[in-house]
Chain A
Amino acid sequence: MTTAVDSTRSKRDAPYEGPLLDVRDLHVEFVTRDGVAKAVNGVDYSVRAGETLAVLGESGSGKSVTAQAIMGILDMPPARIPRGEIRFRGRDMLKMGKEERRKIRGQEIAMIFQDALSSLNPVLSVGFQLGEMFRAHQGASRKEARDKAVELMDRVRIPAAKQRVNDYPHQFSGGMRQRIMIAMALALEPDLIIADEPTTALDVTVQAQVMDLLAELQAEYNMGLILITHDLGVVADVADKIAVMYAGRIVETAPVHELYARPAHPYTRGLLDSIPRLDQKGQELYAIKGLPPNLLRIPKGCAFNPRCPRAQDRCRAEVPELYPVTEDDGAPLAGRGSACFFWKETLHDR
């Protein structure tokens, strides 16, 4: 980490030991006409350099809102952050000024969105939109920016980058467009990338290619990656650890393979059981009963209790915290936690 080559950015020279990103007790609310919608209710998670955190959850679970709060791109109002800290390299970004925040965006934390077609400006060429990163943050000239855009397009393996740099987003295929989004996020070699459902809008075959590319580049630049998805299949290969969100809270955290093998929360259980399996042809597909809660009226106690097969009176009265999950003999399981009073029973449930 002491190379003189990469001295353009001083932060690279200062080693930082703690986690890259540390979210603590984050709350996000939206003020609507019908009341206050509590989208995020005390989320904690952290990401280290080179690590991939997958955030799993249904729509409305608060996974994207958390990401947008980290990115600083929430519309405030209607959104507001009543409590919490978002520490990036140890500094709370929520306490920074607007301009300082803006300089972090794109340069140190970048984001990839779900639908590349609508997320790219339809009237500007992709070369321009890529080059803009260098012009806005590094004061590059038009010519330099264009050259760097071609380089980036080569990096994400877009064929004939030089000929295509002046093309517009609608002239690319879905997979190529998402590659452009990735290239844009990578442009300034950020420390952290947040990918919000990066492959949801793509064909299955293209999904794998894009995911592989993302994982490869992440390893190469040693970036932290937050992968937001509702697709359990996508995360299995690339993620190091998983945080499962429900109604704005993290209900379970675990290293990826342990979560698949032994879930410790009934909700995670339900999610895993609802994956279609080839060896169960003809059987009815399992679905978690009921609907995700209305964020204006989150149920008392554990938010999952109305849908939970294990729910007891206690679940309807008390909110469970994220308990550390251990083996039966009390041996700790690193990185595991479950916000269920009955995590022990769930763990054995097979």
Chain B
Amino acid sequence: MGSYVLRRVLQMIPVFFGTTLLIFLMVYTLPGDPVTALFGEKAADPAVVASIKHQYYLDQPVWKQYLHYMGNLFQGDFGTSFTGRPVSDIMANAFPVTIRLALLAFVFELVLGLALGLVSGLRRGSIQDTLVLVLTLVVISIPVFVLAYIAQTIFATNLGWVTPTVQDSRDLSQLILPAIVLGSLSLAYVARLTRTSIGENLRADYIRTAVAKGLPRRTIVSRHLLRNSLIPVVTFLGTDLGALMGGAIVTEGIFNVQGVGNVLYRAINQKEGPTVVGIVTVLVIVYLVASLLVDLLYAVLDPRIRYA
């Protein structure tokens, strides 16, 4: 087990270099000159542009820029944005907000998704089952931004329970509505995945054995059925946690949450290489760690899987 974890961690190194290089090149090939763009409509003084370019290393060939960036990165310096703020500072502000948002959404989809999936999986063909199927289908077919606007209209404009957009991104209670919108799509998937998995395992031979042993139904469901049924769901949830962290651009934009998604969107627009690369790198690492945890949890849930 230990050597497996070590190997997985070592595998992260090439992935880390690969992604940073890829993102770096992508930002570099974006059309337009970020420094000239800083001046907007005004004509820029060539001397000032050149000095800014020099300051940000933009007058160097791309491979030199990359080496310079990586060199700084290993000294803990994520670089500086064009506004003069250190990127690490920007990230330190944005990540806690996104983490909170993602965790709220995750808890929402986990608890409600599993519960709905369990109810409908155990009672296939019942009214509850049909209801879950229809509702999840609706959620899956509606784009997230439409869902966000509907939620805004109902809960902010009509009911007045919340403000349409988030006023203070550090306030957890204000993040609840965006989190529900963010988690709803995954919730639908979790519910359907759980339903299918429960339905399949319900017909398994070992469930028949458990019934033949004279176990009470409660024991059969909680001890025999649930654990086997959760294996595919856990995979989905694990990768989804990574996706929630980075995939909140639309939701964060609509609800004005000052998280990673918002910052990243602005940074891409302004071609701020250091910010984009910094954030994406952290997201990649989060994703890798999440999938490693999923694989380890796998072995806990299913003894047939052993890592050596």
Chain A contacts to B: CB under 8 angstroms: 71, 73, 102-107, 110-111, 113, 115, 118-125, 132-133, 136-137, 168, 170, 184
How far apart are A278's CB and chain B's nearest CB, in angstroms?
35
Q: Is the CB of A119 within 8 A of B208?
A: yes
Contacting A at CB under 8 A, from B117-162, are none
Residue-by-residue, is B292-307 near A (CB-CB < 8 Å gives 1, otherwise 0)?
0000000001111000
Q: Is the CB of B214 within 8 A of A102?
A: yes
Q: What residues of chain A lie closer than 8 Å to B227, measured between beta carbons? A: 123-124
Q: What residues of chain B lie closer than 8 Å to A104, measured between beta carbons? A: 214
Residue-by-residue, is B198-237 near A (CB-CB < 8 Å gives 1, otherwise 0)?
0000001110111111111001000110011000000000
Q: Which of B205, B214, B219 contacts A113 (CB 8 A)?
A: B205
For the complex, give the distance between the alpha carbons of A108 and B163 in Å. Answer: 64
For the complex, give the distance between the alpha carbons of A132 and B223 in Å. Answer: 10
How far apart are A168's CB and chain B's nearest CB, in angstroms?
4
For the complex, give the distance between the alpha carbons of A180 and B126 in Å. Answer: 37
A–B pairs, 13, beta carbons within 8 Å: A103-B214, A107-B214, A110-B212, A118-B205, A119-B209, A120-B209, A121-B206, A121-B209, A124-B223, A125-B303, A132-B215, A136-B214, A184-B209
Contacting A at CB under 8 A, from B32-51, are none
Which residue of chain B has the shortest Cβ distance to A184 in the bound complex?
B213
Chain B contacts to A: CB under 8 angstroms: 204-206, 208-216, 219, 223-224, 227-228, 301-304
Q: Is the CB of B216 within 8 A of A136?
A: yes
Q: What residues of chain B lie closer than 8 Å to A113, measured between beta carbons? A: 205, 208-209, 212
> Chain B binding site: helix, strand, loop or mixed by DSSP?
helix
For the complex, give the distance between the alpha carbons of A210 and B214 in Å. Answer: 24
Besides A121-B209, A122-B304, A136-B216, 8 new A-B residue pairs in contact (Cβ under 8 A), listed by A number: A73-B211, A73-B212, A106-B212, A110-B213, A121-B224, A123-B303, A124-B224, A184-B209
Q: Is the CB of B303 within 8 A of A132?
A: no
How far apart are B236's CB and chain A's nearest CB, in angstroms?
18
Q: Is the CB of B214 within 8 A of A122?
A: no
Q: Given that A119-B205, A136-B219 are contacting pairs, would A111 and B212 also be in contact in the complex, using a CB cutoff of 8 Å?
A: yes
Q: What residues of chain A lie closer than 8 Å to B302, measured between beta carbons? A: 122-123
For the complex, give the distance between the alpha carbons of A122 and B231 in Å. Answer: 12
Which of A103, A115, A121, A168 has the most CB atoms of chain B within a 10 A radius of its CB? A121
Q: Is the CB of B228 within 8 A of A122?
A: yes
Q: Is the CB of B215 within 8 A of A121?
A: no
Q: What residues of chain A lie closer than 8 Å to B204, measured between beta carbons? A: 118
Which 6 residue pairs of A and B lie closest in terms of their CB atoms, listed nearest first?
A106-B214, A105-B214, A118-B205, A121-B206, A106-B213, A168-B303
How far apart are B129's CB and chain A's nearest CB, in angstroms?
15
How far apart are B63's CB and chain A's nearest CB, in angstroms?
51
Which residue of chain A has the shortest Cβ distance to B215 in the bound complex?
A136
For the complex, give the distance between the alpha carbons of A123 and B201 in Å. Answer: 13
Q: Which of A102, A115, A170 contacts B304 (CB 8 A)?
A: A170
Q: What residues of chain A lie closer than 8 Å to B213, measured between beta carbons? A: 105-106, 110, 132-133, 136, 184
Q: What residues of chain A lie closer than 8 Å to B211, measured between beta carbons? A: 73, 105
Which residue of chain A has the shortest Cβ distance to B230 in the bound complex?
A123
Q: Which of A73, A110, A123 contacts B301 (CB 8 A)?
A: A123
Which residue of chain B has the shortest Cβ distance to A128 in the bound complex?
B223
For the complex, give the distance between the alpha carbons of A136 and B215 in Å. Answer: 6
Q: What residues of chain A lie closer than 8 Å to B303, measured between beta carbons? A: 122-123, 125, 168, 170
Q: Which of A105, A110, A123 contacts B228 (CB 8 A)?
A: A123
Q: What residues of chain B lie closer than 8 Å to A107, measured between beta carbons? A: 214
Q: What residues of chain B lie closer than 8 Å to A123, measured between beta carbons? A: 227-228, 301-304
How far apart are A202's CB and chain B's nearest CB, in angstroms?
16
For the complex, give the distance between the alpha carbons of A184 and B206 in Å. Answer: 13
For the complex, give the distance between the alpha carbons of A229 and B205 in Å. Answer: 18
Q: Is the CB of A102 within 8 A of B228?
A: no
Which residue of chain A has the shortest Cβ distance to B203 in the bound complex?
A75
How far apart are B125's CB and chain A's nearest CB, in angstroms?
10
Q: What residues of chain B lie closer than 8 Å to A102, measured between beta carbons? A: 214-216
Which residue of chain A has the shortest Cβ distance to B227 in the bound complex?
A123
Q: What residues of chain B lie closer than 8 Å to A105, measured between beta carbons? A: 211-214
Which residue of chain B has the shortest Cβ distance to A106 in the bound complex?
B214
For the complex, give the distance between the alpha carbons of A311 and B205 in Å. Answer: 40
Q: What residues of chain A lie closer than 8 Å to B206, measured between beta carbons? A: 118-122
For the complex, give the distance between the alpha carbons of A125 and B303 in Å. Answer: 9
For the complex, give the distance between the alpha carbons of A170 and B306 in Å. Answer: 12
For the complex, give the distance between the alpha carbons of A115 and B209 in Å. Answer: 11
Which residue of chain B has the shortest Cβ distance to A188 in the bound complex?
B214
For the complex, give the distance between the alpha carbons of A48 and B122 in Å. Answer: 38
For the complex, give the distance between the alpha carbons of A177 and B64 in Å. Answer: 64
Q: What residues of chain B lie closer than 8 Å to A137, measured between beta carbons? A: 214
Q: What residues of chain A lie closer than 8 Å to B228, measured between beta carbons? A: 121-123
For the complex, give the distance between the alpha carbons of A113 and B211 in Å. Answer: 12
How far apart are B220's CB and chain A's nearest CB, in angstroms?
10
Q: What residues of chain B lie closer than 8 Å to A120, measured between beta carbons? A: 206, 209
